[in-house]
Structure 1
Amino acid sequence: MHIGLIGLGRMGGNMRSRLRNAGHEVTGFDFNPDISDVPSLEALVEALPSPKVVWIMVPHGKPTTDTVEALNGLLGEGDLVIDGGNSRFTDDFKHAELLSAKGIGYLDCGVSGGIWGLENGYGLMVGGDEKLVELAMPIFDALRPEGPRDEGFVHAGEVGAGHYAKMVHNGIEYGMMQAYAEGWELLEAKDIVKNVPGSFKAWSRGTVVRSWLLDLMVKALEEDPRLDKLTGYVDDSGEGRWTVEEAIANAVPMPVITASLFSRFTSRQDDSPAMKAVAALRQQFGGHAVKARQAPEAGPSSGSGSAD
């Protein structure tokens, strides 16, 4: 099968390689000419046979919307656009409606696997019409992990369902990572535990907390046993926030995922304003000790007197 792939970054570039390794022809476009196969979107569309299938792998939000709008002007009836980025499911409704006016099909595909997907395959969650899913199935089969299809691929439902499933997947991922992180911090804090990396590695087989995330944690600790090379700043790409917003909208309690998201916000504060207020209150009602901010060292005097 011959498809077009837009966006050849860390994920898109590896996906192009995996598809080619499986015998598919891929024409890729990227704004970086050093990695792009063609000079423009127009050239990519011209290179594809009909029905044309174009996979988008660019950042969510405006970059994806701009790409969908551009393809709407270049593709025609019977062609297919697949958004494999981390778009919000509500954007899928708008993109599908725009393309459908010209008879262009649309699928949303949540993709998990990161930089390891080239070797291991990608977990795929797809939303859209069954006939369009069948049209693109050779591509999905090439990208997913080897083994039973239903262990690495799901047609989750209607348009938006694929990205919705991926959103919840990433929310769960937030909670799992936070649990491992808190366990690591407690082990590090206890003086009787002398081998923290080994403790994590011992959980790799035969325990109920084993997982690929645990394997990655072990790898990180073997490379940097106390994670001294890293800072504690953690970003979020949107899916965790959207998951919590959907939990509120649907009255679904999500204390673990919500707390893990807020922990990421805390990581971005060098000196938490809220915790300063907590310290002040504890001092006021209980006389508890507080840690005063160190005054900056005085610089060289510029004169003999003071205006204060």
Structure 2
Amino acid sequence: MELAMIGLGRMGANMAQRLVQGGHVVSGYDPGEAAREAAAANGIAPKSSLAELVASLPAPRVLWMMVPAGAIVDDTLAQLLPLLAPGDVVIDGGNSMYKDTQRRAAMMASHQLGYVDCGTSGGIWGLAEGYSLMVGGEAALVQRLRPLFETLAPAADKGWGHVGPVGAGHFTKMVHNGIEYGMMQAYAEGFSILQHKQEFALDLPQVADIWRDGSVVRSWLLDRTTDALKDNPTLEGIAPYVEDSGEGRWTVAEAIELDVPAPVITLSLMERLRSRDKDSFADKLLAAMRNAFGGHRITRQ
């Protein structure tokens, strides 16, 4: 197939490269000149504007967006809208909020344009190992785009699927990332307990490596954890500050809205927020309360 990739960052560029390796013809656009030049070295035809990108494609056009969630998606669609024609289709492969996806799909449909959401997992390893793709949209559109999903996935019949109507792909990816938060937190806490048991002087990379084979907790995430510990066993130079990209918050909000208890995912999100509080007012107040009712010692800064 012939298509365009909008957004040539780490994910977009690697996905475009995998598509090229799979025999597809890919043009690409990114506002950064360096990103366009890097893509060109990997067989992607760079275009200097969205207008040039759209004009280079045969009708009906297929455009895949890999841009950050939020206003940038809406801005990109606003720029694309006057350039597209009925029958063209846009795929949002980023981490958009599913309700935004449903709104955007309705807007595109009013212009006879197709819209497909594709929750995409795989990170920097996707180029070599393939991506996990959770696709939402009309069945006919998904079938038309099937060769793209089959190429990007680990295998044509593995790691991807049409999970439901438009919005379902991003909803499924949102929950996927919430689960990811909980798994990461469990590994982090477990290894912290091991690290604090000084009398055993445990070799954490060794323990992680042992768990990779035969263990109930073995996983691809544990593989990456093992690599990180081997590279830097004491995690020297890494600040205890953890970002969140939004999906965990959305998952927790959705759980509340649906009256579904999700304590592990919720607490893992809270731990990320806590990691950023370098001068915790709450902890100071806890210390002050203990002193007030029990005369317990306060540690001064």
TM range (shorter): over 0.9
C-alpha contact 1:122 1:145 (8 A) present in aligned 2: yes
Query: Is there any run of 5+ residues in structure 1 with no aligned partner, and where?
Result: 294-308
Equivalent residue for 2:243, pick from 218, 221, 235: 235
Q: CA deviation at 1:193?
A: 2.9
Counting only pairs closer than 5 Å after superposition, residues 27-66 of structure 1 correspond to structure 2 as 27-36=27-36, 37-66=46-75
Structure 1 position 192 matched with structure 2 position 199: yes
In structure 2, the residue matched to 1:95 is 104
Range with greater deviation from structure 2 (91-100 or 122-131): 91-100
Q: CA deviation at 1:287?
A: 2.4
Q: CA deviation at 1:281?
A: 1.4
Structure 1 or 2, whichever has the larger Rg, is 1
In structure 2, the residue matched to 1:285 is 293
In structure 2, the residue matched to 1:297 is none
Counting only pairs closer than 5 Å after superposition, residues 1-308 of structure 1 correspond to structure 2 as 1-36=1-36, 37-146=46-155, 149=157, 151-194=158-201, 195-293=203-301
Deviation per CA, 1:46-99: give whole Å up to 9, x if none: 111111000000001011111112222111111100000110001111211111
Q: CA deviation at 1:286?
A: 2.3
Q: Provide the rounded CA distance (Å) in 1 between the counterparts of 2:98 and 2:265.
A: 19
1:258 partner amino acid: T
C-alpha contact 1:60 1:88 (8 A) present in aligned 2: yes
1:134 partner amino acid: Q
Q: CA deviation at 1:127?
A: 0.7
2:176 partner amino acid: H
Q: Which structure shows the higher helix fraction?
A: 2
2:295 partner amino acid: G
Query: Is there any run of 5+ residues in structure 2 with no aligned partner, and where?
Result: 37-45
* Count of equivalent residues: 291
Q: What secondary structure does 2:199 align onto? A: coil
2:26 partner amino acid: V
Deviation per CA, 1:107-128: give whole Å up to 9, x if none: 0000000000000100000111
Q: Provide the rounded CA distance (Å) in 1 between the counterparts of 2:210 and 2:296.
A: 41
Q: What secondary structure does 1:108 align onto? A: strand
Range with greater deviation from structure 2 (157-166 or 26-35): 26-35
- TM-score, normalising length from structure 1? 0.93
Q: Provide the rounded CA distance (Å) in 2 between the counterparts of 1:34 and 1:271.
A: 39
Range with greater deviation from structure 2 (68-77 or 40-49): 68-77
In structure 1, the residue matched to 2:43 is none
Q: CA deviation at 1:238?
A: 0.4
Q: Provide the rounded CA distance (Å) in 1 between the counterparts of 2:35 and 2:274.
A: 38
1:202 partner amino acid: I
C-alpha contact 1:6 1:54 (8 A) present in aligned 2: yes
C-alpha contact 1:72 1:98 (8 A) present in aligned 2: no
1:21 partner amino acid: Q
Q: What secondary structure does 1:35 align onto? A: helix
1:273 partner amino acid: F
Q: Provide the rounded CA distance (Å) in 1 between the counterparts of 2:192 and 2:33.
A: 44
Q: Provide the rounded CA distance (Å) in 1 between the counterparts of 2:143 and 2:155.
A: 18
C-alpha contact 1:11 1:114 (8 A) present in aligned 2: yes
Q: Provide the rounded CA distance (Å) in 1 between the counterparts of 2:72 and 2:188.
A: 33
Range with greater deviation from structure 2 (113-122 or 71-80): 71-80
Q: CA deviation at 1:192?
A: 2.7
Q: CA deviation at 1:276?
A: 1.0
Q: CA deviation at 1:3?
A: 0.4
Q: Provide the rounded CA distance (Å) in 2 between the counterparts of 1:256 and 1:62.
A: 30
Q: Provide the rounded CA distance (Å) in 1 between the counterparts of 2:254 and 2:107.
A: 24
Q: What secondary structure does 2:163 align onto? A: strand
Q: CA deviation at 1:265?
A: 0.5
